[in-house]
Structure formats: C-alpha cells, structure tokens
A and B are shown apart, each in its own frame.
Chain A
Amino acid sequence: MFHIYCPHCCEYREEEEFHAAGQSHIARPLDPDACTDKEWGEYMYFRANPRGIHHELWVHAAGCRKFFNITRNTQTYEIKEVYKVGEKPSVVADEAK
C-alpha cells in the first residue's frame, strides 16, 4: 500500500485516501470537432503501459479533493516525485529524455 505525499495538504497520507485517475498529461484536444475519428480514439483510449517510469494522475479523494501528478516506477512502486497539475515532471524515463 502506497504512502503518498499530497502536494496540496503537504503531508504523507495512506493510499486509502487517494484514487488513481489514469495517465497524466493527456490533454483534451482544443478543437475536438477538427479531430479525425482516429485522433479522437487515440485521445480517449490509448494509454502508455511502461515498465518503469510512469506519470500518473491521482486525486486526494478523501482529503482535499485536489488532483495532482505522481511519477512512479511501475516495477519497483517507488514514487519518485509528486507535482501539481500544470507542472512538468523532473524525473522522466530514459527514452523520453
């Protein structure tokens, strides 16, 4: 069970207080009507499933209700960093550098 630092409450809390909300940094296209079906399908359904560094959106559901990002190693379950929505991760996978 993870021990997660909420960047809004500024405290470590138990995983039970949080919900995972999928991959981070999936921006909604600004002009959906200009998207092809394929582009819209990519936006809706296609997600990375890396072994290693992954950026995830979480929400402090039973706390401050704020969404924020976690950089997590999916293999070791280490949480490398947390950062607020709108911020960029400082830890990225090697192939993304």
Chain B
Amino acid sequence: MTQDLSKQSNRLQEGGRIDRSKPLTFTYNGKQYKGFDGDTLASALLANGVDIIGRSFKYSRPRGIVAAGAEEPNAIMQIGSTEATQIPNVRATQQSLYAGLVASSTNGWPNVEMDLMGLVGKIGGKMMPPGFYYKTFMYPKSMWETYESYIRKAAGLGRAPKENDPDIYDKMNQHCDLLIVGAGPAGLMAALTAARSGARVIIADEQSEFGGSLLSSKEMLNGKPAAEWVKDVVQELSGFDDVLMLPNSQVNGYHDHNFLTIQQHCTDQFADRAPNGQIAQRLHRVRAKWVVLATGAHERPLVYGNNDVPGCMVANAVSTYINRYGVAPGKDLVLMTSNDNAYRAALDWHDAGRNVVAIVDSRKNPQGTFVDAARDRGISIIVGSGVIEAHGSKRVSGVSIAPLNDAGDAVVGPIIKMAADTVATSGGWSPVIHLSCHTGARPVWNDEILGFTPGATYQKQLTAGAINGAFSTAQALSEGVKVASDALSQLGLAKSDVALPETEVVEEGKAMALFHIPHTKPTSKAPKQFVDYQNDVTAAGIELACREGFESIEHVKRYTAMGFGTDQGKLGNINGMAIAAKMLNQTIPQTGTTIFRPNYTPVTFGAIAGRDCGELFDPERYTAMHAWHVEHGAKFEDVGQWKRAWYYPKGNETMQQALDRECLATRKSVGILDASTLGKIDIQGKDAREFLGRVYTNAWAKLPVGKCRYGLMCGEDGMVFDDGVTSCLAENHFLMTTTSGGAARVLSWLEIYHQTEWPELEVYFNSVTDHWSTMTISGPNSRKLLEKLTDYDVSKENMAFMDWKPMTVAGVPARVFRISFTGELSFEINVQANYGLHVWKALFEHGEEFNLTPYGTETMHILRAEKGFIIAGQDTDGSVHPFDLGMSWAVSMQKPFSFIGKRGMQREDCVRENRKQLVGLKTIDPKAVLPEGAQGVLDPKAPVPMPMVGHVTSSYWSANLNRSVAMGFVKGGLNKMGERVFYPLADGRVIEAEICSPVFLDPKGERQNV
C-alpha cells in the first residue's frame, strides 16, 4: 500500500515505529496536517516540514524543534480543541499524535511565521539585558505592571482554560519493593531481574513505549534488532502479576522516605477529551522500598553563533526522528561534535539517503568504530574545527566552519562556508540526575564523562545506566542487573538467573571537553550564541553577569534567568556553568553544581487536584436535622467543616428582618437552635474530676452529679482558647462541651497533657460529638413546650438552672440540660443522633401554639451579645486572659494544683495596668451599629496616626432592645465605665460610644432563673 506522503515532505518511505496504515489528521496553528499513528506531535510537524514552532521570549527570533524528548526547550504547545480542554505548556516531543489533535504555538504572538513582532521584539531584546527584571522593571513599579502583561502575551507562557475541565483526574496510592524509573536498557534489565525474583515492581517511563534509547538505535542485541529484544522483555514483564508497567508516565517528584509521584497520561495521549468514564490523568503516589533511577542522559548541544535558527538540533534527536519516526528533518546535514557517539546521527542521515555535507569534529584525530563507519561511507570529516556560526533566518541555509586551537577556545584559521539546512551538534551527554536532586543530594562532577552524576543520598536509591555515565548499551544492561541484585539482597529476596544479551562491540575514542565554540569576534560582538533557548540567555549574557561581579552560579542563574523556564534548563545549564567557570577562571565543580527541584516536567493542576475538587474538595459535616433546615429555607454558614443553619428567611425577608423576627420570637415565646455541632467529649475515670480541675480555670472538686458548670480553658500563657459547659453525669463521668470549631483541638489538648504530663491520672477521653443530636429550646414558653413531650417533672423545683436530668422526650431517651446561652429559660435536649430529626419534628408539632421559631447561628450571636456572653475566637484572640474579659469569677486561684494558665496569667505583662479589657459599648446614637473590627480612639481630633485603644469584637442590631449592642476591647476599660470612646470609620464618620457593662439585657439574670 502506498500512502500519499506528498504533504509530509520529510517523511521517509520506510522505517520507524510509526504505522503508515493509520494516517491521522491534526491541526497546528489553524492549519491541517497529516501524521501517522506512533508519531509525536513534534515528529509529525517535522515530517510536514514545519520549521518554525515559536518565537523566542526576548528577541522574538524564530525557533524550531531542537530535541526529541523531555528536554525540548522550544516546542512548547497549547493543546486542546475546545476551551474547556486547553492544556498549556505541553512539549510537542512528549505529546503522542492522535486524530483531531489541535495544537498551537505557545510562544509567538500574533503569528510565528510573520515577524509582526520583529521590531517590538528587537526593542524588547535591547531592553532586556541580563538582570533586566531588576534593572529595568522594578522601579518604578507601575512600569513593571505595564510591561508584564505585554511581555507575557508576547512571550506566551501558555494559558489556563476559561471553562471547567470536563475530564476526571484521580490519584492512586501504590506500594512496591522496587520502583524503576525509566524503561531503557538499564531499567528493563533491572525490572526483568527483579520480576523473575518475585519482587513487586513498578516500572514507569515517560514515553508511549518502553525501550528508551533502544527504540531509536540500530544496535543489535543477541544478533537481532534491539527493538525485538525490548518487545520480548515487555511481553515477559506483562506476564507477572506483581509488575505494574506504566508507559506515558512521568516520575515527576522524588520526595523524602522514598515517596515518589508519577503523572500518568491515561487518555490525553490519544484523545482531546477522555472517553466517557475514563480517567484523563492519574497521579500515582508511590512508597517504594527501593528506587532504581535509570533515567538515561540528555545530549548537550554545543553553543555557537546563531545556534537557534530552525534546523539547529542536538545530534541524537536527528537519529531519533529518522530511526523511530521515519522522519529526516532536512536534506543537507552538518554535524558538529566533540565525541564519537554523535557520529551516529550522520550515519543515520546518510543511511536514510540524505546528504551529509560534513562532520566537523573539534578533535584533531578522531578514531573509533563510528568514525571508521563514517569514513567507509565516504563522509567528509573536518577535524580540529568547529561550526562557529549558522546562517539563515527562518531555516538554516549554511554554516561557517573554522579551525580551532587545542583548547577549543580560539579560532586559529580561515573560515570556510558550506551550504546546509540542518546543523546537528553534540557536546557529550548529561546524565538525567534531576530526580536524585529532589531529596537534597548534591550532584558530583565527573571529569571522565564531562557531566554531573548523582551525589550521595539518604534515600534507598540505586542508579543504573547512563545516569551514572555508563553510556553504552552493554554497560547499561549490566548495571541494570547489578542494581536489581543489590535491591533484591536488601529486600531478602533470592535472585533468579538472568542472562545479559549479547551486544555489539563498539570502540569509542576520547571525547573533548567542549561547550562553547569560539567565534572570530569576541563573544559580546559575535552573533548570538544561545545557552538557554527558553529564556533567551546567551553566552554573552553569562559573561556579562560574571563581569558585573556575580561569582556564584546560583546568582548568575538568577541574574540571567538561565534554567528558570519550564524546561528547568535541561539542555543549557551545564553549558552555562562551563561558560561561567571559564570566565571566572575556575573548574566547573568549583563554580558550583546545578540543583533541580520537583517537578521534572510541568504537571497539570488536574493531576494534582485529582478528585479533591468540587463537592469533594473538603468534607462537609451535616447534623441529623440538616435536611429539615434545607427544606425550611435556611441559609448556611461554614463553621469548620460543619454546615450550620445561619438564619431562616421567610418570603422576601431581608437578613436583618429575619434576624429581628427570630430574636423577638425567642425572647417573647420560644425559639429553637440546632446545637448539635458543639463539640462533646466524654470523660471517664476515677481521676476525671482532678483532671478537669487542672485544665479549667475554675473549681470542679465539688460539682455534684446532675449539675453543669461553665468553664474557661487557657493555654500555659494564661490566654483563653476555648470555653464550654461540662456536666457531671456520674461520680467518675463527665460530658465536656467545646466550641463547634475547637472540638478537635480541645480533645488533642486533653490528650497531650494526659499522655505526656500526667499519665498517672486514670482518665479517658472520647469524642462523642457525632453521637448526639442537640437542640436548644429557649424562651419563656420553652418549659411549656418541653412538658408536652415528656412526663418528667421539669419544674423549677425539680430541675433548677444548671441542672441536667435524664428523661424521655418524644418517646426517646434524652439528656436534658438546663443551661442557657441566650439568658432565657432554656432546655438543651440531647438525644441519640439518629433520633434527632424525630424529636426536632415532634417539637414543631407541639410548638405551633407557642409560635416555635427556628433560629440560626446569627440570632444565637445576637441573643448572647445582648447578655454579654463571649464567643471564644470572636471576643478572644489568644492575647486575652480571663481577667481581661472581666471573668475573674471563672478563675479559682485557690485550687491546690497550679492549673494550666494560672502561672501564665500572673506574668508581669498580664498583671499590669491599662491592658485591653472587654467592655460593653453603647453607641450614643442607638441606631448606629459599630462595624466589628473598628478601632477605638479616646480623642477623635488627635493627629494621625491616632493612638488606638482597642477594637470592636461583637456588634449587632438588637430588635429586642431597639438599639445596637456591642462589645470590644478598651485599654483599662473596666475602670472607664461611663466614659466615651470614638470609632473613626473609613467613610469619614465617627461613631461615639459609652463604655458600659457588656450585659445589655436582664443584668440580674431573672429571665433564665424561672
């Protein structure tokens, strides 16, 4: 079958791992193209002869595809056919092609082909020398704001979708004996060894297929093409139940204690939107007993003039496009290299039927298997030379080649020019050490391989293959077996036999340490020599930074922005360090090292969020009566994770109208509050009473069974942090209530003191918050209402204020507490939680004649403020002790044990005069409601900044009193009763208030004592 390849001008007639019987149509920058199943977006673009895939950040220079993997700095795409499925910052080299894929250039506005930005870009370039963020835009700030949006738009950092992502993402927790990162020869061999020995193995690789470098090489293993060996190993591995194979999966983070995160692309490698019900991406959270990093190496390009013109690539990428994808990304190749290995690119190019113009080798006398192979093919080799400059603008048109001195840092002869459309370069290989750095290991420079290898680690981590500088396939395979064996013996597993496949013998000559190709002009005057493509950092920029006095590579990086792109400088960092080292007259290891942090490549927010979004973002807690509140139109507020009824508007009532009605009805007849969210802690044990005496500020020794008492809880500093009522259920049995938001903290507080300070006390704590439904009926008719539902005698004589009694309410067993947070006659009815709704409804059945009115948290706040009752956390803020609150009645300094907070509240600063104290604030204009948080001053005419004396903590409109009520702190306020304080507001008004008792209603407590 012959395919129409007319549009795919660079597609080879045969070869590669693509399926020519499955053509795929895709759209790039609004134009339709064809590729094949098995292509990446990058290989398909190259097949179609698309040279320019973006424009550069600062200089707006056209850029092309440089690499074939995760290290690609230029081909950064926006993917997505609809607004909702937009994914920014996808590297075209890592995106599998699928039918209907829609991609556009991230860099380059308005159009990558037309240089509409050119003029502006050039201006931008001049305005952006190294350190331009600091030099140009920091002052004045307004300039930065002007430039920033413009630069962002022009440079194109990708954009988030404006609509909700319709896809599902999830997370999975994994445990394994061995996590192998990378499925090249080393990783596959390690996996095979471990799997045959019965270990639980996860092997992950970022590519769509396992095999790594073997997929794009022409090597033979056991006398067969390497890809066949890969196929056999993959097949065997897939037969093990305990082996999880994850292609399309990037191990992005290596965290402490061998915890690693893997981003698996499940469907976004073959569909714009996940087919119904499938997961688009999955984040695997892996706890591995041992980790094998077999992450390979990235080839380093050489730095030379105009090395960013489309057509300039790294050598290995050329081989990959030819061998794996059947794409020759040009016609006439010049290869520049400092080593033998890169010769393979020229051999592959030649064997694909294309013209190798020349191999330019910086070494005087290259010798080795690949060099011989090139000579055998009649390829011209120009030794002792370098490509000092590429020519062309939208595509390479030729090169300038010049002889170099032995050190490779000066041009020593005449320039020759040659025509070519592609320049492939190699300065050697940089091990992919990124993950090994994530846990803090410092990479170590290795002069032998001219690269950094992983440093010493505290993790249970092993490394195999090219990451160690073991660049040959034979070395990688044997290191794979070795690390697996080491891990197996650590795991106590017996190692099964594995035979190493036979490899071809390759002789390679010594590579030359070369990073930066000199030009006839000084670097600052030479054509731009790019080090970091993504951030447009040039050799001249790094030299300038060094001349300006930056000596630490970390400072040079920040000053020039080298390595700060989404590619984290995978290609450029070591070249940049070499240039800085030379400038500073140091070696590379003296200059410093390069550290990488998670994540290895950008991770979508979808994968990070997983299912923890929308209604699953945070758990919501509902009381047993929640459905009733919803049915009756309640508005809710969040209290911790609780959804509490806030108020119950009727008809068109405003919030204030509803609150006024609820407040009046409660004080006039009876209201009801769902108080189930209050924290409840069951406390038992023979020392329970002693324990209470130590954690509360007041006395508990004599509280009889059947009685309730209010208590304040303080920290060791004497400051109030929670309050509540605790009831004596039996001699060694108490029920403590806490604020709704403070329950967990209080329980933990009790536990830590019991477990670490007083383990000799026999006492036990258990949270029973969810076991009980609590409803408070409050108001003068609350007793009459309760009497309708119980036969128990709830008269004043039999059930006094602060008593609790067990009884039957609405046919179910209940604990009823006569406590009050409103100052009215109140009964707090507690029933087993699943009876809550039944009792609640029964109360309403009998409550009609009393106009029983449900009220929410807001009315509760108003009613308690009318009575001057505090809310811990609203009227306290961790800086006030009980005396500041005017609550000395709740502190017993005479208790034998020095309770928590006692010593703290006696410190010098706690007993001084003029502390801020909580007082009532009666506005002179009764209609004026102070804003909470307003700051008080004694003299509103004082010059700004006025001395402030304290803030308003609680303030409401009281329908019952037909005026505002408020509480707040005033310096020395308890001794200033009757004096005036002023609250200047942002709108210019000044509200005047009189300092008074916080108890605005029923100061004698007659309403609750009936």
A40 to B716, CA, bound (A): 9
Q: Tell me if B904 counts as interface (CB < 8 A to partner A).
A: yes
Q: How many residues of A are in contact with the other chain, CB < 8 A?
A: 29
In contact, B716 and A85 (Cβ under 8 angstroms): no
Q: Tell me if A93 counts as interface (CB < 8 A to partner B).
A: no
Q: Tell me if B756 counts as interface (CB < 8 A to partner A).
A: yes
User: Which residues of chain A come closer than 8 Å to B755, judged between CB atoms?
Assistant: 66-67, 85
In contact, B902 and A33 (Cβ under 8 angstroms): yes
In contact, A21 and B752 (Cβ under 8 angstroms): yes
Report which residue of B287, B755, B757 has the largest number of chain A beta carbons within 10 angstroms of its beta carbon: B755
With A61-B748, A66-B755 as known contacts, state yes or no: A3 contacts B259, CB within 8 Å.
Answer: yes
**Chain B residue at smallest Cβ distance from A75:** B440
Q: Tell me if B393 counts as interface (CB < 8 A to partner A).
A: no
In contact, B756 and A57 (Cβ under 8 angstroms): yes
User: Which residues of chain B come closer than 8 Å to A94, judged between CB atoms?
Assistant: none
Q: Tell me if B122 counts as interface (CB < 8 A to partner A).
A: no
Stretch at the interface among B1-9, B143-151, B250-258, B721-729: B250-258
A14 to B902, CA, bound (A): 38
In contact, B756 and A32 (Cβ under 8 angstroms): no
In contact, B902 and A59 (Cβ under 8 angstroms): no
A76 to B457, CA, bound (A): 9
Q: Tell me if B632 counts as interface (CB < 8 A to partner A).
A: no
A28 to B758, CA, bound (A): 10
In contact, B907 and A40 (Cβ under 8 angstroms): yes
In contact, A85 and B259 (Cβ under 8 angstroms): no
Q: What is the CB-to-nearest-CB distance from A14 to chain B, in angstroms, rounded to a whole number?
A: 8
With A2-B257, A40-B903, A44-B904 as known contacts, state yes or no: A59 contacts B752, CB within 8 Å.
Answer: yes
Q: What is the CB-to-nearest-CB distance from B543 to chain A, in angstroms, rounded to a whole number?
A: 36
With A2-B257, A44-B716 as known contacts, state yes or no: A37 contacts B907, CB within 8 Å.
Answer: yes
With A67-B756, A77-B458 as known contacts, state yes or no: A32 contacts B903, CB within 8 Å.
Answer: yes
Q: Which of A21, A33, A79 contacts B903 (CB 8 A)?
A: A33
A14 to B258, CA, bound (A): 12
The B interface, classified by DSSP as helix, strand, loop or mixed, is loop
Mark out the residues of chain B between 704 and 726 whose CB falls within 8 Å of any chain A CB in the assembled complex: 716-717
Q: Tell me if B898 counts as interface (CB < 8 A to partner A).
A: yes
**Chain B residue at smallest Cβ distance from A45:** B717
A44 to B717, CA, bound (A): 7
In contact, B752 and A3 (Cβ under 8 angstroms): no
In contact, B898 and A37 (Cβ under 8 angstroms): no
In contact, B256 and A1 (Cβ under 8 angstroms): yes
Q: Which of A19, A33, A35, A76 contacts B458 (CB 8 A)?
A: A76
Q: Tell me if B908 counts as interface (CB < 8 A to partner A).
A: yes
Mark out the residues of chain B between 452 and 488 whose CB falls within 8 Å of any chain A CB in the assembled complex: 458
Q: Which of A43, A76, A77, A79 contacts B716 (CB 8 A)?
A: A43
User: Which residues of chain A come closer than 8 Å to B751, judged between CB atoms?
Assistant: 59, 65, 67
Q: What is the CB-to-nearest-CB distance from A65 to chain B, in angstroms, rounded to a whole number?
A: 6
A84 to B904, CA, bound (A): 29
What 1/0 flags go to A40-72 for Cβ under 8 Å of B? 110110000000000001010100011100000
Q: Tell me if B759 counts as interface (CB < 8 A to partner A).
A: yes
User: Which residues of chain B come closer than 8 Å to A19, judged between CB atoms?
Assistant: 748
**Chain A residue at smallest Cβ distance from B458:** A76
Q: What is the CB-to-nearest-CB distance from B423 to chain A, in angstroms, rounded to a whole number?
A: 45
Mark out the residues of chain B between 254 and 293 whose CB falls within 8 Å of any chain A CB in the assembled complex: 255-259, 287
Q: How many residues of B are in contact with the other chain, CB < 8 A?
A: 24
A56 to B299, CA, bound (A): 45
User: Which residues of chain A come closer than 8 Å to B717, judged between CB atoms?
Assistant: 44
**Chain A residue at smallest Cβ distance from B909:** A37
Report which residue of B255, B257, B716 has the largest number of chain A beta carbons within 10 angstroms of its beta carbon: B257
A27 to B753, CA, bound (A): 11
A31 to B903, CA, bound (A): 10
Q: What is the CB-to-nearest-CB distance from B858 to chain A, in angstroms, rounded to a whole number?
A: 32
User: Which residues of chain B come closer than 8 Å to A3, judged between CB atoms?
Assistant: 257-259, 287
A31 to B752, CA, bound (A): 19
Mark out the residues of chain B between 898 and 919 whose CB falls within 8 Å of any chain A CB in the assembled complex: 898, 902-904, 907-908
What 1/0 flags go to B427-458 for Cβ under 8 Å of A? 00000000000011000000000000000001
Q: What is the CB-to-nearest-CB distance from B330 to chain A, in angstroms, rounded to a whole number?
A: 47
Q: How many A-B pairs fall under 8 Å by CB?
A: 59
In contact, A85 and B287 (Cβ under 8 angstroms): no
User: Which residues of chain B come closer than 8 Å to A2, judged between CB atoms?
Assistant: 256-257
In contact, A77 and B903 (Cβ under 8 angstroms): no
Q: What is the CB-to-nearest-CB distance from A20 to chain B, in angstroms, rounded to a whole number?
A: 12
Q: What is the CB-to-nearest-CB distance from B389 to chain A, in angstroms, rounded to a whole number?
A: 48
**Chain B residue at smallest Cβ distance from A27:** B757
In contact, A37 and B908 (Cβ under 8 angstroms): yes
In contact, A85 and B759 (Cβ under 8 angstroms): yes
User: Which residues of chain A come closer than 8 Å to B287, judged between CB atoms?
Assistant: 3, 14
Q: What is the CB-to-nearest-CB distance from A59 to chain B, in angstroms, rounded to a whole number?
A: 7
With A32-B902, A33-B898, A85-B759 as known contacts, state yes or no: A1 contacts B257, CB within 8 Å.
Answer: yes
Q: What is the CB-to-nearest-CB distance from A48 to chain B, in angstroms, rounded to a whole number?
A: 17
A21 to B753, CA, bound (A): 12
Report which residue of B287, B717, B756, B907 has the largest number of chain A beta carbons within 10 angstroms of its beta carbon: B756
User: Which residues of chain A come closer than 8 Å to B255, judged between CB atoms?
Assistant: 1
Q: What is the CB-to-nearest-CB distance from A10 to chain B, in angstroms, rounded to a whole number?
A: 17
With A43-B716, A44-B716, A65-B751 as known contacts, state yes or no: A28 contacts B757, CB within 8 Å.
Answer: yes
User: Which residues of chain B come closer than 8 Å to A21, judged between CB atoms?
Assistant: 752
**Chain A residue at smallest Cβ distance from B457:** A76
In contact, A40 and B904 (Cβ under 8 angstroms): yes
User: Which residues of chain B come closer than 8 Å to A14, judged between CB atoms?
Assistant: 287
Mark out the residues of chain B between 983 and 997 whose CB falls within 8 Å of any chain A CB in the assembled complex: none
User: Which residues of chain A come closer than 8 Å to B257, judged between CB atoms?
Assistant: 1-3, 77, 79
User: Which residues of chain A come closer than 8 Å to B752, judged between CB atoms?
Assistant: 21, 57, 59, 67
User: Which residues of chain B come closer than 8 Å to A76, judged between CB atoms?
Assistant: 440, 458
What 1/0 flags go to B550-571 for Cβ under 8 Å of A? 0000000000000000000000
Q: Tell me if A78 counts as interface (CB < 8 A to partner B).
A: yes
**Chain A residue at smallest Cβ distance from B758:** A28
User: Which residues of chain A come closer than 8 Å to B439, judged between CB atoms?
Assistant: 77
User: Which residues of chain A come closer than 8 Å to B902, judged between CB atoms?
Assistant: 32-33
A41 to B458, CA, bound (A): 37
**Chain B residue at smallest Cβ distance from A76:** B458
**Chain B residue at smallest Cβ distance from A41:** B907
User: Which residues of chain A come closer than 8 Å to B259, judged between CB atoms?
Assistant: 1, 3
User: Which residues of chain A come closer than 8 Å to B907, judged between CB atoms?
Assistant: 37, 40-41
User: Which residues of chain B come closer than 8 Å to A31, judged between CB atoms?
Assistant: 898
In contact, B458 and A85 (Cβ under 8 angstroms): no
A28 to B908, CA, bound (A): 20
User: Which residues of chain B come closer than 8 Å to A33, judged between CB atoms?
Assistant: 898, 902-903
User: Which residues of chain B come closer than 8 Å to A37, judged between CB atoms?
Assistant: 907-908
A85 to B258, CA, bound (A): 27
A57 to B748, CA, bound (A): 13
Mark out the residues of chain A between 1 and 39 whose CB falls within 8 Å of any chain B CB in the assembled complex: 1-3, 14, 19, 21, 27-28, 31-33, 35, 37
**Chain A residue at smallest Cβ distance from B440:** A76
Q: What is the CB-to-nearest-CB distance from B484 to chain A, in angstroms, rounded to a whole number?
A: 22
A64 to B759, CA, bound (A): 16
User: Which residues of chain A come closer than 8 Å to B256, judged between CB atoms?
Assistant: 1-2, 77
23 contacts between A and B (CB under 8 A): A1-B259, A2-B257, A3-B257, A3-B287, A19-B748, A21-B752, A27-B757, A28-B716, A31-B898, A32-B902, A33-B902, A33-B903, A35-B903, A40-B904, A40-B907, A57-B752, A57-B756, A67-B751, A67-B755, A67-B756, A76-B440, A76-B458, A79-B257
Q: Which residues of A contact B (CB under 8 A)?
A: 1-3, 14, 19, 21, 27-28, 31-33, 35, 37, 40-41, 43-44, 57, 59, 61, 65-67, 76-79, 85-86
Q: Which residues of B contact A (CB under 8 A)?
A: 255-259, 287, 439-440, 458, 716-717, 748, 751-752, 755-757, 759, 898, 902-904, 907-908
Known: A77-B256, A77-B458. 17 other contacts (CB 8 A): A28-B757, A31-B898, A32-B898, A33-B903, A35-B903, A37-B907, A37-B908, A40-B903, A40-B907, A41-B907, A57-B756, A59-B752, A65-B751, A67-B751, A67-B755, A77-B440, A78-B458
- Shortest 3 CB-CB contacts between residues of A and residues of B: A32-B903, A3-B257, A32-B898
